[in-house]
Each structure stands twice: as structure tokens, then as C-alpha cells.
Chain A
Amino acid sequence: MLTSEQSIVEFKAGRAIPDRLTRSIHRHYTEYAEKMLYVYRNGIGQQRRRLHRQIQSLFADEPDCPVRRIQAFCKLLDDKSTFQSDPEGKAAKLRLQVFAEAGRFHPLVKQTDRLFEHDEKRIKAQLADKLSLTWDQIEQSLYSDVIAFQRLKQFEGLLNASALLSRYNVAQLQACLYRAESMTVIANDDLKTILRYAKLARLLHEIVRLGPAKYRIVFSGPASVLRETRRYGVNLAKFLPALLACKGWKMTASVKTPWKQPAKLILSEKDGFTSHLPSPDEFDSALEESFAKKFGPKRKGWRLIREGEILHEHQKTFVPDFTFRHEDGVQVLLEIVGFWTPEYLAHRRETLQQFRHHNILIAVPEKSLREGATVGKNVLAYKTALRLTPLMEALERIRAENATTAGSNL
């Protein structure tokens, strides 16, 4: 991620427009990106300051390039690099040694006289001799631990030029979010991923149902109800790559301009930003896909709805993979779980308790059931794929139970 000092945002008519390199206007940047990668790939052993200067000089004649953009590129490249860091403090030791020796000759002077006879050059040569090094070597190592003077050890690199440019575009979006007070996402797909990653980024959410399978989720942090704060901007920025990897969303973030005016950062899936994260849960979705195909649109009076509804109360949410709705109105929510740890089980149990007024089924792979694990009646174990027969049985059982409870309530 970038620092705020590398952020470029244009504020126009209430909109925040982060710097973005596009194929139409910045076609020639692909070449710059290749050259930049070349500098780092071939820069092993060079000082960070030198590398940054080389990157700067690439853009010397480029009319369209703010200084911050160059600094941002340097930061992104540095983030993919390892520099010699001197953890043992060798440079510091050398400094103390040299300065202690030189202290006896203070002050070193250019022109000696009767009072001050310690000629700078002569003393330096003398010191070098004593340490069995040349003065050049000493001068090179003396401050080699200062960040600007550190030498490149390894460059992990980026796939190619366009990966660097995509990274840049996303990084500018993230840096713009540092100024954000809250973020509103309208989503109808991948809700589970969105909520999971938001939780990982330690955000609080507020969910409103807008229509069938359509939700508005506002993300912010604890103190956001008390005052305007940009405290959670970094959390929002961390969350963004996950959102970019999802499908079917629109996002509006409230940011403040440097002159304290409100502005909006508006984004959607259609803007075509590329996240470095993979699309959500490929395992789960493959499983879901094959199951949906097997079930078909309708079976024995039950219809299948994908990611129909979120159950939410305060910060607890339950996003089913499928919703089954019977003709008579009974609704059962199904979550397919790929793995199962004791913590997850405990967490799930709590969630199910909170939503006990709903019919919830959880499908769990048999092999992940620990020995002695008690399989509750709303848990469905499966071997490699969820089979239809036990599922239909479970659905009917729940429908029958619902009917009895409804009867006894009368």
C-alpha cells in the first residue's frame, strides 16, 4: 500500500477521482512499466536512492507524470523487494569505532597550522590503515544502514508490466480510501465474501435489504457513530482488494477533501479494476455450481434460490449458499461448509442459536467431522458431493416439523 504522501486524487464536482492509468490515455506506460521492472530486476546490489533516481530519470521527458506518481511506483517496487538491512548493526559498530578513533584528532582540518595539525585526508588514510580497509570502503559502509543507502538484495517482482500498472491503479484507490469515513456497498452476489473480508479488516457493518437478493451494507468502525473520523480509512483500504475480486457490486465511499469538503468515491464492478486476490472461494463455488445443476430449478415442490437472503442481527450474519422455498411457503437455508474446525463449529452454533427461528441446514464433509463430534439434526454430512436423496429427506423433515409447530401454536 502507498503512503498518503503518494496519493493523487482529483476532486471535481463532489467526486473523488483517484489517479488511474488507462489503456487509452496511458498506453505508453506499459513501456515505462517494463523499464521500471528492468531497473529493479537488474538493480541487485544498488542503493535504494540510486534505484529511485533511475526510476525518476525514466520519466524525465514525460509530460504527463506528477512527482507523486513516480514516488508511488518506487514504493510499489520497494514493497516487492528485500533490501540489505544490517540487523546486527555492523554499520553502527563501525561508526562508533571510527568516530572514537577520530575523536582523538578532533578537529580534522583542511589547512593545518601550529594549533591544529590534524589534516583531514591524512587522518582518514591513517584510520583506514588501522582498520585494514581503504577509506572508500569505510565511507561506503559507514552509513549503509540508512534507508536511502540500503542495497537491493532481492526483487520478488511482479508478473509483468500490466500487473504493475494494475497494482498502481488499485493502490491509488486504496490511498484515496485513507481519507474515507465510511463505505456503502450495494451487492447482490458474493455477499459472503464481502462480509467475511470486511470482518477480517475489522469493520462494522449495517445491512439493509433493498429487494430480492439485493442489500445495502454500510461499513465503518466503532467510533463512526460518534463523530466523523478517518480512523477506519486504512481498514477500508485493506478491505478493497477483496471487494474488487467480487461480482455484482457498487460502492460509494464518503471522503473528505484536503479543504474539508465532503466528496464521494464511486466505484463498481464495471470499472474493471483488477484485484491481486483470486475470485471468491473457488472450491466452494465449484461445489455450489455442480449442486445447483444437479438440483435443477424445481424438484418435488421445492425451488432453489442462490444466495437469496442474508440473516443479520447486529454484527452476526448468516449468508446461506442456497435457499429452498417450498410451494407452501416453508423456507430452508443451506450452507455448504468445505472444512470444519472446533472454533468454526462453536462460532456456527452461536450464530444458529441467534437465528433459531429460521430453518437452517449445514452440509459438512464427512472427513472433516472429528471423532466424537455430535451431528445435530440440522447438520448434513456428505462424502465428496452433496447428494440429493438425504437433502430431500431433510427438507421434508423440516417441513413436517414446521407444520407441527404451527399446529401446536394454534
Chain B
Amino acid sequence: MKSNKQISLSFDRGTLLLTNVVRKELPDIVASSVWRWDSRVGAWRCDAIHYAAIRKALVERFGAHFSDNVMEPACISWPKVDLPRLRPEQTKALAAWKQADSRGQIIMPTGTGKTEVALAAMARTKTATLVVAPVRDLMYQWHRRILQAFDYDAGIVGDSLANIKPITVTTYDSAYIHMAKMGAGFGLLVFDEEHHLPGKCRREAAILSTAAMRLGLTATPQRSDGLHKDLDWLIGPVVYDMPFKQAEGSMLANFDVVRIPVALNDNEQATYDQCSRVIRHFITSRRKEQSGYSWQDLCKESGKEPQARNAQKAYYLKQSIENRAAEKLRVLEDVFRLHKGQQILVFAGSNIMAIDVSRHFLVPTILSHTRKRERLAVLDGFAKSKFEVLVANRVLDEGIDVPEAKVAVIIGGQGSTRQAKQRLGRVLRKSGNARATLYEVVCENTKEVQRSRKRRKSDAYERTIHRGV
């Protein structure tokens, strides 16, 4: 029994509203119902992600009785396309994605040209596209690449800008906030470093969009919480997977990992030991009463108990001493002497440490709040060897195109495998036959040594040379 009323589908802040349909006529596209009756507005509601399938089902079932009021993404024409020829594995990846109805994930190691694959996809699909990147720097980088490839000045949503255009770049955090507003405007979503997407909140960037075509890109899809499985429905299945081992040696250079242990100076060591004692003493005394007393317990208690707060402070002080150990600056000086004439990347553990290095050696930094113009000037200067050294905090961790560098120094940071891989990707870009070197500067007798060991578990770190200075 069909009603005579017009059946209409519309977009409402990241969801779809369907009116004038009774329950048994609802088109379902997955095993369990995606629809909920929303008595607040008197219509059926579902997530925007189902749009393409629902639209098809509604047109088939209701024909002319169905009117689709969801905005159609703008078509794009590219008068001028300047893209490099794709390499065979890039062509294969793109073909596999197209084969899968333009919904899926491409897994390729850092430095093997994921961005080019995405740009080629944009050149072909010719539809309004949103590119989502993990951090501002990467967002600006996409902006730059789109400008180069299509001569198109893409909109930017993020970094306190909200300029939505048919081609727009954004970050995961901004996409979460703004997708309810702009979710119906795009035909293609590109998720760069897609392993950022499945988080409890961030995934809404995929759920609240009507885009029929979705492309996920990463070198490292795995997440320790297992949520990467959800990428299969948030984006689409893995359509192309190129393992890390295969990449190394073919497109990426060989490399050495050199670990340089440094000692804290007497002052630092004294404070460090004092801090360790404060923490140990406090925890031991607590464990006498409560055997499983943990760091979480300590944090909870710190509001009420000055001693717990002291222990907490001591912990952060220890971290800061490790990060900013004066000896690290001396080691850096040695590395700079040793590699005079070569481009060197330095990764610091914190903003403050990055600024310390910059102030000491008068070398440029790229930090999370570095603005577009300075960032361009610094990257350009580094590419042209005007600057031999570039210092970054963890911002350069992922995917940022850094001009060739054969030497990298890690003087602080977290111990996760993914970060290690991403960081290696930076130094390993192939240029000539010279081997790349990655230095890890770690404080001896501190937690940093453990972190370094953990880092080396990754298969990227097979050859490690220990070197004392």
C-alpha cells in the first residue's frame, strides 16, 4: 500500500530524514535496520553514511514518488592537470580501488607515493572532494599538492579557518566538528593516514557524510585497540596492500640505526635520582597498605594529598630532564660536525626542547603552530640547503614531505612502533646510493633506554649499531 504523498529524503546535520514512509516500506540495506523513528521531528532517521545505498533502493522502489532533497556534490572540471605518471604499483592500487566501487583502503609504505594515487583518483572522479589529514601541517601540504596538481586553491577547514569549497582540506579533529554541517557536500572523501579515523569520536567524520566514494591511505593500518577493523565499513575494504619489506631497497634506501647513549650531568642526575626516590618512596609506602597501588591511583589521589602531588610532579620533572638533557645538545653538535654538508632532521621530544635546539644552534623549527608562510620558507630553505638542519617536535612524524635528508636524529619521543616506522620513512627517501643514518640519542639509566628497545622491535630496525661516544 503506497501513500500518495511524496516520499522525501533530506540531509539533517549528518543524518538523513525520510518522510511519508511506513515502517514496512523502509528500504534496508544491511542486515539490521539502520532506521530509527524520530518522534521529535516526525520522520525516519539514519546515518548519512548509508546514503548511496538508500538512494538506490528508494529510487527502485518508489520511482517518481520519491524526491531526493539531499544536496548533490558539485562536479569539478580540471582544465589543467599536472600529475606525474603513476608507477606500476600506484596504477595497480588505483585500479583496485576503482574495481571496488571506489570505496576502499590502499596500504603503501611511507615514501611510495600515496598522495599521487589520491590526486589521480581526484583527477578521475571529478567530484567535490574532502581530504582529511591528521595534523595542520599535513593539511597545508595537501593544499599545496592540490595547487600544484590542479592549479586549484582548495578550501581549508581547520587552524581556525572554515572556508568550505568543492575541494577542501581539513584535519580529523575539524572534520569531526564540521562534518554535520558539510557532510552532504562531497562525493569523495580521502582519509590520509586513515588509522586516525576509527577513534570513538573521529569516526563520525565518515559516518556523518553522504559521500559515495571513499579512499583511505596509510602505511600502518593497525591500531593497538583493534578498531582498524571498522575501517572496512567506514571507508571500505583493503583493496591494495604493499608490505613494508617489499618497499625497502626498491624505493627506499638502506639505512643504519645508531644508538648514542648520553649521561645526565651531575646536576641533572642528582635531581633525577631525587625524583626517583620521591616516587619510589611514596609508592612503596602506599603499597604497604594497598598492594596493587598504581600510577592511576596516585593521579587520583594527587588532588587531596600533597605528597601524591609531589610524586606526580617528580615524574614529570624526570621526563623533562630526559627530554632536555644538556648532554643531548653536545651530542647534536658532534653529529652536526660529522655530517657537515648533509641535510639533517632532528626530532625533539617536546616543543620546548625543539626551541632549545633552535636557539642554541640557530636552526629553523617546524612546530605545530608554525604558520603556513614560515613553514613554506623553512621547507624551501631546507630543500635548497640554505638550512642544513631542520628541527621538529613530533609534528613531522607522519607523511609530511620533507625534502631529502640522509641523516635524522631522534632526541626524544614516544616508543610506539608506528611512530618509529613513520620516522624512518622520513630519512629513507631514496636519493643516490648513499645509506641513510638514523641516530637515537638516549639518556642512560633512564626510561628512555627502555623506549628505545621497544622501538627497535619493529622490523624496520633490523640492523642496529650501538656506538658509544
List residues of chain A with CB under 8 Å of any chain B CB.
8, 61-69, 89, 92, 95-96, 98-100, 102-103, 106-110, 115-116, 120, 123-124, 127, 139, 142-143, 145-148, 204-206, 221-223, 225-227, 229-231, 314-315
Contacts and interface: CB of A to CB of B under 8 A. Distances in A.
Nearest to B309: A67
15 contacts: A66-B304, A67-B309, A69-B303, A96-B374, A100-B381, A100-B387, A106-B363, A107-B389, A115-B340, A123-B362, A146-B369, A147-B369, A221-B13, A225-B36, A230-B201
User: Chain B contact residues: over half helix, strand or loop, or mixed?
Assistant: mixed
Nearest to B362: A102
Contacts of A106: 336, 340, 361, 363, 387-389
In the A-B complex, the 4 residue pairs with the smallest Cβ-Cβ separation, listed nearest first, are A66-B303, A102-B362, A107-B336, A92-B374
A106 B381 CA distance: 14
Contacts of B377: 96
Residue of B304, B312, B364, B370 with most partner-chain A CB within 10 A: B364
A223 B369 contact: no
B14 interface: yes
Contacts of A116: 337, 340
Contact of B15 (A63, A100, A123, A222): A222
A131 to B, nearest CB: 13
B14 A109 contact: no
A92 B369 contact: no
A356 to B, nearest CB: 18
B12 interface: yes
Nearest to A62: B306
B192 interface: no
B360 interface: yes
B208 interface: yes
Contacts of A314: 40-42
B361 A107 contact: yes
Residue of B333, B367, B373 with most partner-chain A CB within 10 A: B333
Contacts of B381: 96, 99-100, 103
Contact of B386 (A100, A221, A315): A100
Given A107-B337, A223-B15, A63 B304 contact: yes
Contacts of A65: 303, 309
Contacts of B204: 229, 231
Contacts of B122: none
B285 interface: no
A206 B367 CA distance: 46
B47 interface: yes
B23 to A, nearest CB: 15
A62 B312 CA distance: 15
B280 interface: no
Contact of B337 (A61, A109, A127, A204): A109
Nearest to A92: B374
Nearest to B13: A222
Given A102-B362, A110-B333, A206-B40, A146 B45 contact: no
Residue of B351, B370, B374, B388 with most partner-chain A CB within 10 A: B374
Contacts of A143: 355, 358-359
Interface string B304-334: 1110010010000000000000000010010
Residue of B303, B364, B374, B388 with most partner-chain A CB within 10 A: B303
